[in-house]
Amino acid sequence: MADGHDRGRDHGGDLSGAMARFGGTEDDWIDLSTGINRVPYPAPPASAAALCDLPGRAAIDRLCTAAQGAYGTDWPLLPLAGAQAAIQLLPVVAPEGAVRVLGPTYNEYAGAFEAVGRAVETVAGAEALAGAGLAVIVNPNNPDGRRLAPEALRTIAATVGLLVVDESFADPHPELSLLPGACPENVLVLRSFGKFYGLAGLRLGFVLGSDALLGPLAGRAGPWAVSGPALEAGALALADAGWRADSRARLSAETARADALAEAAGWRPLGGTALFRLYETEDAAEAQARLARSWIWSRIFPYSAGWLRLGLPGSEAEWDRLEEAL
């Protein structure tokens, strides 16, 4: 029986496997295996109307207006239940031709297209995307933080049928975003809400692009693609420019703190974003186990014996535990 998870594709989060191996309860663990902000937006409890009523047009419009303001754009946008929901819908608008993904990167792109019988090529350089029917770039990239400037992305767009730019980790790095510029006819941009705002359980994200591309996606997503509580909390958080600026500043400072701790432990920083860091270790599985014995969970990758990704702690107590474990 399906349990709602594809066990063929590994992800961060879900501490059940860590607890089975190393013990403890969820309250004992610090989950640094994801790129989710551990200092979340202080959203109030959902209202009775958000919980009880079907999501209405006015609530959707409030969310969309707040999102356009936060992202500094006038691009049309479609709210969905997380950026993952947008990834699952991409085959609906994918042109014929090769599907190429700039990698290594988030593995759900390959999964979404392979599930509908489309072959996926992972390429190591952006120049190899040219000629693709659909090309995918995660910017900044997960897990190594590779970055392409907006001008470079627009140049690439001119060489492919449809360019998908995943900006799930771009909130702390607004200079990388395509959204403040004009909306090309053959580009879709994906944004995650839950990562930067630390509210991943709400399941909220956006796909932005031309009306011609968003129309088929909206039709497949259906009339209530986002829950009432997500519409309400999302509109409130995205409109809070002060919290956004404070969080960007804090995260920027804390990346240097994390890198210093890792270097003191003998790990080499390889990059990352303001929401997670990537390190080269002598043995990533052993490094993960060392942290796990202190009930700190991290992320390793099947394609690298040395890479370990670490999110940022959310409190001084968590920073102290990380330093002690390292």
Q: What tokens does 142 get?
A: 């997960």
Contact 186, 160 (CB under 8 A): yes
Cβ pair 249, 264 in contact under 8 A = no
Give the C-alpha separation, 224 to 60, whole Å.
10
Q: By percentage, how much of the chain surpasses pLDDT 90?
A: 96
User: What average pLDDT does this structure show over 151-173?
Assistant: 98
CA distance 268 to 288: 15
Residues in the chain: 326
Would the pLDDT of 201 be above 70?
yes
Question: Is the pLDDT score of 9 beyond 80?
Answer: no
The residue-averaged pLDDT of 161-175 equals 98
For 124, phi and psi rounded to 5 degrees?
-90, -15
Which are the contacts of 243, defined by CB distance < 8 A and separation ≥ 6?
41, 237
Q: How far is CA 157 from CA 25, 89, 93, 294, 301, in A?
A: 47, 20, 16, 46, 29
Q: Is the pLDDT of residue 173 over 90?
A: yes
Span 39-50, pLDDT tens digits: 999 999 999 999
Burial of 17 (0-12, 13-18, 19+ CB in 10 A): exposed
Confidence of residue 1 (pLDDT cuts 50, 70, 90): very low
Residue 203's Cα: distance from chain center in Å?
11
**Residue whose entry in the numeric block shows the structure tokens 């109030």:** 44
- Report residue 296 as tokens: 């700190």
Q: What is the pLDDT of residue 14?
A: 81
How far is the C-alpha of 128 from the C-alpha of 15, rounded, in Å?
37
Q: How far apart are CA 125 and CA 103, in angstroms?
A: 8
CB 66 within 8 A of CB 234: yes
User: What is the per-residue pLDDT across 264-316, written as a single tens digit (0 to 9) for each?
Assistant: 999 999 999 999 999 999 999 999 999 999 999 999 999 999 999 999 999 99
Which residues have a Cβ under 8 Å from the Cβ of 284 and sit 6 or more positions away?
Answer: 300, 301, 304, 305, 306, 307, 308
Could you give the CA distance from residue 100 to residue 38 in angstroms, rounded to a whole number?
33
- Mean pLDDT for the chain overall: 95
Q: What's the confidence (pLDDT) of residue 5?
A: 41
pLDDT of residue 289: 97
pLDDT mean over 109-133? 97
Query: Residue 80: helix, strand or coil by DSSP?
Result: strand
pLDDT (tens digit per residue) in 69-93: 999 999 999 999 999 999 999 999 9
Higher pLDDT, 172 or 13: 172
For the stretch 218-243, pLDDT in tens is 999 999 999 999 999 999 999 999 99
Residue 4 clears pLDDT 80, i.e. is over it: no
Q: Give CA–CA dist 313/37, Å, rounded.
A: 8
Q: Is the pLDDT of residue 213 over 60?
A: yes
Q: Is the pLDDT of residue 10 over 80?
A: no
